[in-house]
Amino acid sequence: MTEKISQIKSFYEEAFQIFDAKSEMPEIEVRFYPYIGINHTIRVRSGKVFVRIAEICREMPMNSQKALAYILVAKLLRKKVPSKARQVYSDFIKTQEIREKAVENKKTRGRKIITSAQGSFYDLDEIFDALNQTYFRNSLPKPILSWSSRKTYRILGHHDSTHETVIVSRSLDDKKVPRFVVEYVVFHEMLHIFHPTIHRNGRRFNHTPAFRRNERKFQYFEEAESWIERNVKHLKRKAKIK
């Protein structure tokens, strides 16, 4: 075991002593893992604790590693996370350097499944172009547009700024789905391009008040929202059909 891993492991042992002093110290294994983003996990299997820290955080300062240990152990044991630990860790992950590393990781190692913009009933390229002209004066750069590989209902659309893609649920590529519903979903994702995510105090804001105001400018906003609400169960059934 390297000196760094040994020191990090001691932080988890310390956290267990503080949060669960009456129990016997479990065996703990700590490893760095090649997660794409800033993800960490802590699991218990057969009485042994397995900690996986994102490789991107290998050079994270030891005070931040200690803070992360307290956060993960507290969550595992369903204890209140110390505010100081949360603040120390947050100060690290919200730095510009770590954000840039995370984005670069996603670009080089992330996997995005692209099918085609041309569906059985609707052409996403044609819909994007029409909406861009009507609502954005053709000012939006065109991303890669694709129908999802599977039918989904929980997420009808998704914009990925890192890969410059917009994915729309294949559940909507159906003759029974009104065109204005597909247009509305694409329009919503286009607004994510028009209103980029705002980072403030370590938090992400995707749907700002300005975003919501512009969303209501869609000509069939009420009709589309109403249709989706009424038909979500139908979309769910379609998603389960293979």
Is residue 91 a part of any domain in this protein?
yes
C-alpha distances in Å from residue 105, one per residue of 37, 56, 189, 192: 7, 8, 23, 21
Which range has the worst mean pLDDT, 120-124, 137-141, 174-178, 205-209? 205-209
Q: What is the pLDDT of residue 112?
A: 61
pLDDT at 239 over 60: no
According to the model, what pLDDT value does residue 106 have?
67
Beta-bridge partner residues of 165? 144, 160
- Cβ-in-10-Å burial (0-12, 13-18, 19+) of 228 comes to middle
- Percent of the chain residues past pLDDT 70, beyond the cut: 92
Looking at residue 55, what is its pLDDT? 86
Residue where a domain terminates, one of 80, 109, 138? 109
Q: What is the pLDDT of residues 62-115, one digit of tens each?
A: 999 999 999 999 999 999 999 999 999 999 988 888 877 777 766 665 556 678
**Is residue 231 domain-resident?**
yes
What is the pLDDT, as a whole number, of residue 242?
A: 45
Q: How many domains does the chain have?
A: 2
- 3-class state of residue 147 by DSSP: strand
Does residue 216 lie in a domain region? yes
Q: Are 14 and 57 contained in the same domain?
A: yes
Are 57 and 24 part of one and the same domain?
A: yes
State whether 132 and 104 are in the same domain.
no
Does the model's pTM come out above 0.85?
no
Residue 158 · residue 189 · CB < 8 Å: yes
* pLDDT given at position 150: 84
Out of 86, 109, 132, pick the residue that ends a domain: 109
- Among residues 54, 83, 109, the one where a domain terminates is 109
Q: What is the mean pLDDT of residues 180-191?
A: 98
Q: Both 63 and 131 in a single domain?
A: no
Whole-angstrom Cα distance, residue 45 to residue 136?
53
Residue 63 lies in a domain: yes
Averaged pLDDT of the chain: 89
Does residue 144 have a pLDDT over 70? Answer: yes
Same domain, 82 and 142: no
Average pLDDT over residues 133-156: 90
Closest CA to 132 of 123, 119, 141: 141
Q: Which amino acid is at 230?
A: R
Same-domain pairing of 129 and 235: yes
Q: Give the pLDDT score at 213.
A: 96
The residue segments making up the domain with residue 87 are 3-109
Which CATH number fits the domain that encloses residue 72? Answer: 3.30.2010
What is the pLDDT, as a whole number, of residue 180? 98
Question: What is the pLDDT at residue 100?
Answer: 78
Task: Work out the percent of the chain whose per-residue pLDDT is above 90.
Answer: 64
The answer to the question of residue 139 being in a domain is yes
Same domain, 156 and 90: no
If asked whether residues 182 and 144 sit together in one domain, one would say: yes
My answer on whether 93 and 132 are in the same domain is no
Do 90 and 142 fall into the same domain?
no
pLDDT band at 121; cut points 50, 70, 90 = very high
Instruction: Judge if 194 and 225 occupy the same domain.
Output: yes
Mean pLDDT to the nearest integer, 158-175 = 90
Write the burial class of residue 46 (CB in 10 Å: 0-12 exposed, 13-18 middle, 19+ buried): exposed
